[in-house]
């Protein structure tokens, strides 16, 4: 959320209301008669001050807008509407708290007795009458949701609210003049210390502000020093993290012990920006604004992070679950930690701190491409790419139309993600464009399914299989079209194209009410015609489909059982058992439709149950319908079966493989590659580093074929 406090911020996170509260009443309703003025010209520099003479302004009942169902007073198409409401406070001493609610489309600034107390989706500084908002924000009340709120601190309350006449002044701005709607609905409610009743009942949707004191999760506190958090433009703020360790209570009065320093921060997301609970990009920086690595909440040190705000996913688990399952398969996926966020002293609910996807030895651990890497092996790798919505602020994306072009397939645009396009030399951009074109040519050629002459030699097949399996398990609606990452390694490090890392699963696992194929368990996401054609084409190659089938059967026969996945969900939900209650007090959306929910649970437990039932149905479908023939993986054309002995072994392992066997990859029960053995071997291989357990050995042959052998290691 975006707001600017011009009054002095408290230096601690002390609760806004320190005196006992008997009940709440509302002193200003949106439906009262207000003075208002459409923003066709400048209303005057002092229009928000109590002494301003507004007798020439029109009168009307709020809200103000274009008359589309949530407005009582209709205005013509304008960039802004200014409104003022005078109200009387009696027995000021009985008021021990206040909260402002604003329902607006698209940006709003609110003043109490001439002092700005609330600013969201608006640029910083003075705002002209014809200024557009800093982004899009949809009104909430007409959707059955609760509008944005702001609690006045005890200090603010004492300084601003007076006995007698007070003035509330509001300006609402559209994103642009052609916007289809404008909304301005404002409420001011107060906390009363005794059982006397003076004003009006609170609205039916009103929930008393939460007095947040402590958590069993880490607490992240961010102070912006009066600045508005914006989209695309970062501001500098202060961030502190309280994490006293597993099993310990974290209190807002505890010292910051995980991080206490500066950050740059901006709003992130596409469609999620319309929600009142905002997600943020965060970079840890030093006093001079330079990036500085920090190990946040036990994750490896880095400087780029995402503070994700789960909102439409009411389990708050889908992203975390997908990434944990992806890492269990042996491929990198972002690490995560749950926390509760306090922003400028206001409790904002449960957030997820996530590693931002980037090149790093602890993230996408590929070779680092330097500006001077213009030839030889150095030119061939270190490219992290993305397929996603095109952003005008990005370096121009490109298409790689294959020759021949498959009938009915559309080109998808590729974006330079890390390094960014403007950081690359033209020789580097040309290299990766040509590589992607050649890969697509291999996919569309008549020999695409040939293990040697087709696409497989250019692709890291295990990573691709892992990436596809998790996207298909979740039926991720964005799979293979948005938030899709891929990277190219240097030739000296295999030189192959990798699919991944995984990203953005909040609309997966049945949490969507459009596109039937994404809603329900049957079917495959790769078959949707508008997605990148790669996966559809790969699955037409018998050897690739066999890899997928065998991988799935291996996982389902041991590691990826229903019990494992359901236990994973239960353990994640248990982490949130306390904090989800506070989150849904702050954001009371349980039992309410939030775009694009398919299922609307009345309780958190119902949301968890739906997720588990949906996944169970999906697992059954994948078991029964996964294409591919595992026989292609283990069949050897020349009759030479791979063998290892002794089996089980203790330390030394002998390997017999086909003459053209190039390497043996040893994979553990979690699907992780734990060793790579170059073939042929002159003698036994020393397996002392392997833990006791069951393993699968994959022998990669020069003709592209993969043959497997199973073996076990005893404890020494």
**In this structure, are residues 87 and 168 in contact, taking their beta carbons and an 8 Å threshold?**
yes
Closest CA to 306 of 323, 282, 285: 282
Distance between CA atoms of residues 310 and 436, nearest Å? 34
Distance between CA atoms of residues 191 and 628, nearest Å? 65
Give the number of other Cβ atoms within 10 Å of residue 30's Cβ. Answer: 27
Torsion of CA 554, 559, 560, 565, to 10 degrees: 180
Tell me the pTM.
0.79
Q: What angle do CA 106, 109, 110 make, to 5 degrees?
A: 130
Using CB atoms within 10 A of its CB, is residue 455 exposed (0-12), middle (13-18) or buried (19+)? Answer: buried
Closest CA to 462 of 504, 417, 494, 415: 494
pLDDT of residue 393: 62
Distance between CA atoms of residues 459 and 548, nearest Å? 14
**In this structure, are residues 120 and 170 in contact, taking their beta carbons and an 8 Å threshold?**
no
pLDDT of residue 653: 87
Q: How many residues does the chain have?
A: 716
pLDDT of residue 11: 30
pLDDT of residue 508: 98
Task: Report the DSSP beta bridge partners of residue 695.
Answer: 711
Q: What are phi and psi of 532, to 5 degrees?
A: -55, 135
CA atoms within 13 A on the CB side of 116: 21
pLDDT of residue 495: 93
Using CB atoms within 10 A of its CB, is residue 112 exposed (0-12), middle (13-18) or buried (19+)? Answer: buried
Q: Which segments of 27-146 does DSSP mark as H helices, in order?
A: none
Distance between CA atoms of residues 488 and 505, nearest Å? 23
Which stretches of the chain score pLDDT less than 70? Answer: 1-19, 392-393, 633-641, 669-671, 716
pLDDT of residue 341: 98
Distance between CA atoms of residues 201 and 198, nearest Å? 9
Give the number of other Cβ atoms within 10 Å of residue 127's Cβ. Answer: 18
Q: 3-class SS at 64?
A: strand
pLDDT of residue 392: 63
Strands 219-223 and 183-192: unpaired
Distance between CA atoms of residues 488 and 494, nearest Å? 9
**In this structure, are residues 618 and 473 in contact, taking their beta carbons and an 8 Å threshold?**
yes
Q: 3-class SS at 620?
A: helix
**In this structure, are residues 546 and 302 in contact, taking their beta carbons and an 8 Å threshold?**
no
Tokens of 292: 């500085």
Task: State the DSSP string of 361-388.
Answer: TTSB--PPPPTT--SHHHHT--EEEEE-
Domains in the chain: ranges and CATH: 23-192 (2.60.120.260), 214-355 (no CATH), 636-713 (2.60.40.1930)
pLDDT of residue 256: 97
Tokens of 215: 């958590």
What distance, in Å, lies between the first and last C-alpha atoms of the chain?
58
Query: What is the separation of C-alpha 633 from the centre of its chain, rounded to a whole number of angstroms?
Result: 37
**In this structure, are residues 17 and 52 in contact, taking their beta carbons and an 8 Å threshold?**
no
Name the DSSP class of 291: B
């Amino acid at each position: 959320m975006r707001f600017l406090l011009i009054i002095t911020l408290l230096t601690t996170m002390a609760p806004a209301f320190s005196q006992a509260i008997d009940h709440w009443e509302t002193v200003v309703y949106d439906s009262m008669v207000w003075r208002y003025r459409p923003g066709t010209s400048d209303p005057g520099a002092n229009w928000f001050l109590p002494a301003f003479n507004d007798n020439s302004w029109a009168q009307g009942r709020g809200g103000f807008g274009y008359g589309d169902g949530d407005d009582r007073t209709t205005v013509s198409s304008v960039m802004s509407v200014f409104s003022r409401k005078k109200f009387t406070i009696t027995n000021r001493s009985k008021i021990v708290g206040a909260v402002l609610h604003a329902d607006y489309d698209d940006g709003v600034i609110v003043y109490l007795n001439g002092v700005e107390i609330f600013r969201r989706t608006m640029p910083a500084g003075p705002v002209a009458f014809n200024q557009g908002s800093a982004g899009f924000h949809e009104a909430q009340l007409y959707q059955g949701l609760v509008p944005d709120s702001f609690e006045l601190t005890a200090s603010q309350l004492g300084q601003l609210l007076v006995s007698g006449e007070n003035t509330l002044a509001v300006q609402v701005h559209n994103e642009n003049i052609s916007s289809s709607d404008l909304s301005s609905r404002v409420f001011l409610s107060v906390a009363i210390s005794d059982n006397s009743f003076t004003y009006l009942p609170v609205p039916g949707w009103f929930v008393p502000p939460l007095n947040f004191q402590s958590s069993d999760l880490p607490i992240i506190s961010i102070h912006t020093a009066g600045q508005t958090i914006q989209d695309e433009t970062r501001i500098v703020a202060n961030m502190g993290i309280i994490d006293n360790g597993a099993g310990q209570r974290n209190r807002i009065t505890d010292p910051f012990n995980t991080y206490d320093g500066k950050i740059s921060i901006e709003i992130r997301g596409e469609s999620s920006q319309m929600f009142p609970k905002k997600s943020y990009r965060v970079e840890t920086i030093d006093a001079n604004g330079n990036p500085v690595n920090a190990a946040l909440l036990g994750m490896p040190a880095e400087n780029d992070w995402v503070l994700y705000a789960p909102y439409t996913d009411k389990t708050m688990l889908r992203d975390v679950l997908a990434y944990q399952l992806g890492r269990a398969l042996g491929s990198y996926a972002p690490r995560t930690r749950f926390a509760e966020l306090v922003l400028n002293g206001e409790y904002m609910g449960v957030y997820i701190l996530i590693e931002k996807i980037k090149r790093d030895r602890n993230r996408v651990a590929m070779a680092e491409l330097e500006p001077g890497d213009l030839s030889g092996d150095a030119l061939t790798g270190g490219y992290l790419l993305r397929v996603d919505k095109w952003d005008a602020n990005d370096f121009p994306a490109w298409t790689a139309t294959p020759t021949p072009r498959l009938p009915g397939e559309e080109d998808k645009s590729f974006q330079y993600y890390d390094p960014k396009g403007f950081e690359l030399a033209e020789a580097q951009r040309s290299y990766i464009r040509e590589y992607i074109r050649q890969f697509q040519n291999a996919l569309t050629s008549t020999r695409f399914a040939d293990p040697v002459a087709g696409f497989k030699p250019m692709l890291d097949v295990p990573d691709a299989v892992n990436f596809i399996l998790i996207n298909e398990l979740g039926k991720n609606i964005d799979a293979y079209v948005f938030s899709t990452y891929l990277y190219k390694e240097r030739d000296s490090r295999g030189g192959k194209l990798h699919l991944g890392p995984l990203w953005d699963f909040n609309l997966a696992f049945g949490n969507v009410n459009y596109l039937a194929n994404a809603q329900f368990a049957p079917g495959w996401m790769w078959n949707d015609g508008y997605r990148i054609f790669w996966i559809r084409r790969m699955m037409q190659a018998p050897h690739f489909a066999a890899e997928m089938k065998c991988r799935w059967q291996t996982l389902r026969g041991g590691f990826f059982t229903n019990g494992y996945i359901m236990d994973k969900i239960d353990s994640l939900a248990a982490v949130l058992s306390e904090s989800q209650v506070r989150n849904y007090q702050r954001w009371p959306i349980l039992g309410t439709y939030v775009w694009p929910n398919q299922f609307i649970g009345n309780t958190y437990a119902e949301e968890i149950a739906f997720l588990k039932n949906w996944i169970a149905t999906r697992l059954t479908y994948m078991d029964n319908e996964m294409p591919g023939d595992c026989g292609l993986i283990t069949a050897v054309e020349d009759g030479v079966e791979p063998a290892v002995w002794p089996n089980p072994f203790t330390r030394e392992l002998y390997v017999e493989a086909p003459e053209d066997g190039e390497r043996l990859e040893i994979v553990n029960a979690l699907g992780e590659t734990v060793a790579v053995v170059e073939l042929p071997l002159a003698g036994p291989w020393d397996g002392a580093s392997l833990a006791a357990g069951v393993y699968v050995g994959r022998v990669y042959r020069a003709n592209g074929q993969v043959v497997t052998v199973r073996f076990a290691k005893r404890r020494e």
